[in-house]
Copies of this chain bind each other. A is one copy, B any other.
Amino acid sequence: MSYYPESIRKLIKNLSKLPGIGEKTADRLAMHILRAPRRDADRLAHSIMEVKEKIRLCAMCFSLSDAEICNICRDRNRNFSILCVVEQPADMVAIEKSGAFTGLYHILEGVLSPMDGVGPDNIRIKELISRIAQGKIQEVVLATSTNIEGESTAAYISERLGNHPVKVTRIASGVPMGGDLKYVDQVTLKTAMKSRHPI
């Protein structure tokens, strides 16, 4: 890397800080940026600075937004009585892509993980409780991950909401659609078998 001029070395160093980008990939990306039209490189640089300037967290659901309240929370066509709780903005985007949910969201920005020192005060549970305390929400769908942290976070929230007049549900677990049974792990199969339903 020291064989490149200073400014290329700096670019490679900064690119290799991105997740999943090692030094070789950063080298390749830097060479591409050098060859690309000036306009494309400028656009990339500006869009990096723009997100840092414009993007903030929605004051209602804490998803990424370029306004005080995000597009979804502002959308009058959505069902304001049902709230889906997810770990992070990307989960919300995944659910939106599925088109299966038309209510509002609440982003926890993490999961309970005592091993990593993340307790109930470190994720947005307090904010969730106060949203529900306003009384407009009738159902809370817990859509945290189905790993240990996600499950225990869901269990914890469900318990905390016990004394609120709200229906608490959990997204279903089971064999993924289009999945080949022989490749599905045992825990998932066990869950799918336990939650079997008449057709």
Given known pairs A5-B70, A97-B3, the reply for A10 and B50 (CB within 8 Å) is yes
Of A28-36, A156-164, A165-173, A183-191, the one contacting chain B is: A28-36
A19 within 8 A of B: yes
Could you tell me if A4 and B47 are in contact, using CB atoms closer than 8 angstroms?
A: no
Could you tell me if B66 and A3 are in contact, using CB atoms closer than 8 angstroms?
A: no
In the assembled complex, the Cα of A46 lies from the Cα of B28 at a distance in Å of 18
Could you tell me if A42 and B47 are in contact, using CB atoms closer than 8 angstroms?
A: no
Decide if the interface of chain A is mainly helix, strand, loop or mixed.
helix
Please, which residues of chain B bring their CB within 8 A of the CB of A96?
3
Of A85-93, A116-124, A127-135, the one contacting chain B is: A85-93
Of A51-59, A76-84, A142-150, A174-182, the one contacting chain B is: A51-59
Could you tell me if A55 and B34 are in contact, using CB atoms closer than 8 angstroms?
A: yes
Closest 8 CB pairs of A and B: A5-B66, A45-B45, A3-B96, A11-B47, A45-B48, A14-B44, A7-B54, A3-B93
